[in-house]
Amino acid sequence: MSAQKIHVDSYERNWMIISFVLLVVFALAVSVAAFGLGIQVPAPEQRVDPRTVATDPNSPWSNPGLREVSAGVYDAYILARAVPNWEYLPKEITIPVGSKVTFYVTSPDVQHGFKIQDTNANFMVLPGQVSKLTITFSKAGTYNFICTEFCGSGHGVMYGAVIVK
Would you say 125 and 144 are in contact if contact means Cβ atoms under 8 Å apart?
Answer: no
- Give residue 43's pLDDT band: very low, low, confident or very high (50, 70, 90): low
Judge whether residue 32 has pLDDT over 70: yes
Residues 122-157 pLDDT 10s: 889 999 899 998 999 999 999 999 999 998 888 889
The per-residue b/e assignment along 108-130, b for 16 or more CB within 10 angstroms, e otherwise, is bebbbbbebeeeebebbbbbebb
Q: What is the pTM of this model?
A: 0.76
pLDDT at 26: 95
Residues 83-124 pLDDT 10s: 888 999 999 999 999 999 999 999 999 999 999 998 888 889
Other CB atoms within 10 Å distance of the CB of residue 60: 18
Determine phi and psi for 161, rounding to 5 degrees.
-150, 145
Specify which residues 159 forms β-bridges with. 146
The domain defined by 43-164 folds into Immunoglobulin-like (2.60.40)
